[in-house]
Amino acid sequence: MLHSRKILLIIGGGIAAYKCLDLIRRLAERGASVTPVLTRAATEFVTPLSVSALAGQKAFTDLFDLTDEAEMGHIQLSRLADLVVVAPATADLMAKMATGQANDLATTLLLATDKPVLIAPAMNVRMWEHPATKRNVTALQNDGVTFVGPNEGDMACGEFGPGRMSEPLEIVAAIGAKLADGPLAGKHVLVTSGPTHEPIDPVRYIANRSSGKQGTAIAAALAALGANVTFISGPADADPPSGVKVIEVQTAKQMLDATQAALPADAAIFTAAVSDWRVSNVAGSKIKKGESGNFPALDFTESPDILRTVSKMTEGRPQLVVGFAAETDDVLANASAKRVRKGCDWIVANDVSPETGIMGGSENAVTLISEAGQETWARMKKVDVARKLAAKIAETLA
């Protein structure tokens, strides 16, 4: 996907600039060519020498380098790439971009380019939440700039919240999605996957069985068709696919929050085996084993139903919402009723009785149920179910 693609990487002056060294390596591993440009402030955080050594190309730093201007003017530099990536995009750089300033090489290239621009913001949480930055984000989005991140977490400044730059692999995934061609290019698809873990106490939890294999295969198949995929996964056995934005969660509540934060999306595929109940009296410390025959009393409450919540959205609902129904009895009748009850467009029904070997296995036998009727697919590998489903999604979103 990234082989031979040309990326103009503008490195802003923030502590997250160090992650760009890894980003360049990851891009180079995938066969992309990276032309680095550092703002003056960026050179305080990483050296042009390390950047250029990893990129295998000259690192540009100064607008008025007469040799560069003679050999390759800044306008030309801004046009040679397939994509311009700004990482880290500092509050200052975003403000300059939003107001069209061009007072150094980086901002001049950004104003002169005719190529798509992807930015990975990184700043202190207060700066990210400041109304001025919010105005700049809106202005940049209106100008067609694509964002990856920022993520929420611990920050170098000691605070916690949104403002951390996305990890290099997330940026690589966003670059891949931006450059992808394929029937789903430009579409955002959200996939939930894996089980959820609902705590009983700090060491115990309840969960459903789920390897995450089918969800992972679906996310990979959608990305292969060019979709920009957000993959929200509980603690699964399967490694998350590459080329997608991964959000790891533990509980149903966290999965719902992550899903809502990732919207809007063109389609949402809910493959996760979400625990239907959670313990409402979670113990703050480990429950002691106690005398034999003396069991702790657990109070249960319903988990939020993510599929139902998204299906029933009155505003901003994805065009296509797909649920899964893993059943052991009356599979098709139960799955059809579930489609109507939850309000999703399609439901993928499968029989997970132990004798089928589907749960945790590498094959699946599914029936796709929609308002129009039912389609039973022959038993096939989970990756093939994923490809067939992704192709059908592409057809529907076209």
Minimum CB–partner distance for residue 194 and ligand C5P (Å): 10
Both tokens of 129, joined, read: 């939440």
CB burial readout 294-318, b (16+ within 10 A) else e: eeeebeeeebebbbbebbeeeeebb
Closer residue to ligand C5P in complex, CB, 7/335: 335
Minimum CB–partner distance for residue 270 and ligand C5P (Å): 4
On whether the CB atoms of residues 266 and 397 are closer than 8 A, the answer is yes
DSSP state of 297: P
**Set 80, 156, 157, 203: catalytic member:** 157
DSSP state of 355: G
Minimum CB–partner distance for residue 248 and ligand C5P (Å): 16
Residue 397 CB partners (closer than 8 Å, separation 6+): 184, 187, 266, 267, 319, 320
Closer residue to ligand C5P in complex, CB, 110/274: 274
Closer residue to ligand C5P in complex, CB, 171/272: 272
Question: Residue 182 is which amino acid?
Answer: G
What CA–CA distance (Å, rounded) separates 175 from 83?
8
Minimum CB–partner distance for residue 307 and ligand C5P (Å): 3
Alpha carbon distances (Å) from 27 to 2, 12, 39, 221: 8, 18, 20, 21
Minimum CB–partner distance for residue 398 and ligand C5P (Å): 24
Closer residue to ligand C5P in complex, CB, 184/325: 325
344 assigned to active site: no
Residues that bind ligand C5P (CB under 6 A): 192, 252, 270-272, 274, 276, 303, 305-307, 323-325, 338
What CA–CA distance (Å, rounded) separates 9 from 22?
13
What CA–CA distance (Å, rounded) separates 332 from 138?
46
Closer residue to ligand C5P in complex, CB, 60/270: 270
**What are the residue numbers of the active site?**
157
